[in-house]
Structure 1
Amino acid sequence: MKPLFKNIIAVIAGWLTGSAVNMGFITLGHSIYPIEGLDPNDMEAFAQVMPTLDAQYFTFPFLAHALGTLVGAIIAALIAANHKMKFALAIGVLFLLGGIAINIMLPGPLWFTALDIIIAYIPMAFIGGKIALSFTKN
């Protein structure tokens, strides 16, 4: 397979896999910490209730963002034909853009936004790239 196609597949597979992990944790979080009377699909109602939520309600969103990025970066780096760390970091940038967007649409407490933006994306993508590189050197 040509490196270009392999690299395109790496980004798509990393993005889709990371997104699936992300959604799995979000869904799990809603089942463990349900918000009474709130439809999690109603973004307007969700945006109104976000500032009133305790820290426990932000555990699973953070895990979703961080672990989704980590897994997506690992997958992308494992599949990429070359420049594996760059592809892992590209997944981090994609998820970072999504994280910025969701933090604008559903503004939570400042501490969560800062933690999420600073730790959940680029550092996790870097760690994912390092993990993938450790597998490919064997």
Structure 2
Amino acid sequence: MYPVIRKILAIVVGWFSGSIINLGLIQLGHIIFPIKNVDTSDMDALAQVMPTLTGEYFIFPFLAHALGTLAGALIAGIIAENRKMTFAMIVGALFLLGGIMVNYILPGPTWFTALDIIVAYIPMAWLGGKMAIKLAEKIKWKKNNTN
């Protein structure tokens, strides 16, 4: 595979797969903690109710952001042939930009915004990059020891 195509695929597939996980966890959160009398697909209605929500309503959004970023970064790192951490961090930066945008559109409590922006994106991307590097080292080690 051409190196440029593989690099583009690493970012696109990492971002897309992390987004699917993010969306799935957000939807699961709405099932487990439904917001009564609010259409969660209506951003204006959701923005109005956000300041009144208690902590349990923010568990799944945080998990969605953190685990979506972690998975996306890991997948990008796995696909990238080299500079795995760079591609993991690019995916993390994309998720961070999205997170800043969502926190601007749907302002939640300050504690959640701070936790989300500080913990859910760049640290999770770094962890995903580290996991991809370790996995690549393990695969390389196994290849070298089976020959």
After TM superposition, is the score higher than 0.5? yes
> Per-residue deviation at 1:101?
0.2
- Shift of residue 41, structure 1, vs aligned partner: 0.5
| Aligned counterparts, 1:1-138, within 5 A | 1-138=1-138
Q: Distance in 2 between matches of 1:92 and 1:21?
A: 14
Task: Compute the displacement of 1:116 (Å).
Answer: 0.1
Tell me the percent identity: 60
The letter of the residue matching 2:12 is I
Tell me which amino acid in the other structure corresponds to 1:64: A
Q: Helix, strand or coil for the counterpart of 1:137?
A: helix
**Stretches of structure 1 lacking an aligned partner (at least 5 in a row):** none
Structure 1 position 121, deviation (Å): 0.1
Whole-angstrom CA distance in 2 between matches of 1:84 and 1:4: 14
> Normalising to structure 1: TM-score of the pair?
0.99
Deviations 1:18-61 (A, max 9, x none): 00000000000000000011111000000000000000000000
* SS class of match (2:129): helix
TM-score, normalised via structure 2 length: 0.93
Aligned structure 1 segments of 4 or more residues deviating by more than 2 angstroms: none
Query: How far apart, CA to CA, are the structure 2 residues paired with 1:3 and 1:126?
Result: 23
**Number of aligned residue pairs:** 138
> Structure 2: where are the runs of 5+ without partners?
139-147
Contact 1:3 1:82 in 2 (8 A): no
Give the equivalent residue in structure 1 for 2:141.
none
Match for 1:102: what amino acid?
V
